[in-house]
């Protein structure tokens, strides 16, 4: 007997912790171009193509060394170039053969590039 599809039709949301809410609001809203939905006493909330992103302040926050949030894009080359023009610096990962833009292809047809938000959260863009 299989489990009922309890959350299979529910929309997922994303959460990112930061130390400086104003700086994060500018980064996610102005630099990345996400639409501000609202702010409350707990978070700055953005819409990312129908997915809610809650950017929440955390006093003792420490970024993790792995990807915490990513976007699938139709053309990673165009996206990486646009983000670079917007001031984003892409992360070079030791041991991975990344191209001149910082894009890595683990297998044919899959591409990924990483960058960080102002608090050091590892973010990515990917094309499949």
Q: What is the CATH number of the domain that holds 97?
A: 3.10.180.10
* Residue 1 domain-assigned (yes or no): no
Contacts of 54 (CB under 8 A, 6+ apart): 13, 14, 15, 16, 42, 43, 44, 45
d(CA 55, CA 37): 11
Residue range 23-47, pLDDT digits in tens: 999 999 999 999 999 999 999 999 9
Domains of the chain: total: 2
**What are the pLDDT digits (tens) for 65-119?**
999 999 999 999 999 999 999 999 999 999 999 999 999 999 999 999 999 999 9
Q: What is the pTM of this model?
A: 0.94
**Same-domain pairing of 30 and 84:** no
């Amino acid at each position: 007997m299989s489990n009922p599809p309890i959350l299979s039709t529910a929309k997922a949301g994303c959460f990112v912790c930061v130390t400086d809410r104003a700086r994060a609001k500018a980064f996610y809203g102005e630099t990345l171009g996400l639409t501000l939905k609202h702010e409350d006493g707990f978070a700055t909330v953005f819409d990312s193509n129908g997915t809610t992103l809650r950017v929440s302040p955390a006093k003792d926050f420490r970024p993790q060394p792995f990807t915490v949030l990513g976007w699938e894009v139709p053309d990673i080359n165009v996206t990486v170039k646009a983000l670079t023009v917007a001031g984003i610096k892409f992360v070079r990962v030791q041991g991975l053969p990344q191209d001149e833009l910082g894009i890595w292809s683990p297998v044919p047809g899959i591409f990924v590039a990483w960058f960080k938000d102002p608090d050091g959260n590892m973010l990515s863009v990917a094309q499949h």
